[in-house]
Amino acid sequence: MLRDIRELRNDPEAYAAELERRWGGLLSYRYIGRKYSSMDTGPEDNTVTLRRDMRNATGGLLVAPLSISSPEGSVGSDRETVPNPVIHSCQILDPAHDVARIEVVASESLHLGGRMGYSRSKIVDADNPDRVIALTEGQGVKIGTVPDGLEKMPPNPLEIVDSPDLPPLWQVFGAFRRDDGSTWRRPMPPSTSDRSTCCSRRPPSATPPSWWAPIGSRWWRGTSCSSPGARSARSASTVRPPAAPGARSVSGSPCRTKATRTAR
């Protein structure tokens, strides 16, 4: 079972070493190709190069790479606090069939309270910023404090060459297909653990987080999520209507919660 990183709060050196190990081992950001200037050394880069495995059978973008590229929450980076995502919403306005790269822009904090934060961003075509691909918004919670003086870390990217032979994302992240066609995620080992399991006292659940549930290009609804030391927060109870003709909306909790399929 993963050790709760908050137990190292009073040992700055051990905390920094463990944070670097976990951040450098996160499969999600590294496999998608997302960099974060708040955590990584080097120049700021909010772009992601799209690949075949980030698209569905018709060539439209999947929700998963968009949500990973723009996780939202606005409670601070892992160098400033112990953040935990609560709710994430993504509205896809453009399937981006002919888009090579996306960029997260116009990120803004809507409200930052004592423990909860709310933010939103816009995802555009990196080579044509006037073309809006998706809108994201979300809620996060601080579930712990960190030692002072945590520094940025060198990025540890994965070089994934685009190819028709790339496995689907749900397979890379250890999920499996059930007989009814839904996609579920098995417990993940520490080396590939997602951000929420890095700071949880509980082991990863066999039930998939709802932001991975849309890997199969379905619409999902998440239940409420609570973390140790944090107040329970209720997620959106229904999928919000599309913001524009042809838009898809996925709303739910990116924590380890049950996901209920709401549309096929």
Among the listed residues 161, 175, 162, 182, the one whose alpha carbon sits nearest the alpha carbon of residue 261? 182
Which of 72-76, 106-110, 128-132, 220-224 has the weakest average pLDDT?
220-224
What is the rounded CA–CA span in Å between residue 247 and residue 240? 11
Token readout for 69 is 């590229």
Q: Phi-psi bin for 174: left (phi > 0), alpha (psi -120 to 50), beta?
A: left
Backbone phi, psi, residue 71, to 5°: -70, -25
What tens digit of pLDDT does each residue of 13-44 get? 999 999 999 998 888 889 999 999 999 999 99
Buried b (16+ CB within 10 A) or exposed e, 23-43: beebbbbbbbbbbbeebbeee
Question: Binning pLDDT at 50, 70 and 90, where does residue 1 land?
Answer: low
Q: Which residue has the higher pLDDT, 151 or 177?
A: 151
pLDDT surpassing 90 at residue 80: yes
pLDDT at 83 over 60: yes
The DSSP H or E segment spanning 84 is strand 83-92
Q: State how beta strands 47-49 and 219-222 pair.
A: unpaired
Q: Which residues contact 221 (CB under 8 A, 6 or more apart)?
A: 210, 235, 236, 237, 238, 239, 251, 252, 259, 260, 262
Q: Quick one: average pLDDT of 212-229?
A: 32
Q: Is the pLDDT of residue 148 over 50?
A: yes
What is the spatial distance between Cα 52 and Cα 68, in angstroms, rounded to a whole number?
16
Higher model confidence: residue 189 or residue 93?
93
Residues 143 and 202 sit within 8 Å (Cβ to Cβ): no
What is 5-148+167-263's CATH superfamily? Answer: Hotdog Thioesterase (3.10.129.10)
Q: Domain segments of the chain: what residues? A: 5-148+167-263
Give the integer Cα–Cα distance in Å for 21 and 96. 35
- What pLDDT is recorded for position 170? 86
Q: Which of the listed ranges 134-138, 227-231, 236-240 does the model predict with the highest average pLDDT?
A: 134-138
Most confident stretch, 160-164, 182-186, 213-217: 160-164
pLDDT value, residue 74 = 86
The pLDDT, as a whole number, for residue 187 is 59
- At 189 the pLDDT is 53
The pLDDT value given to residue 220: 31
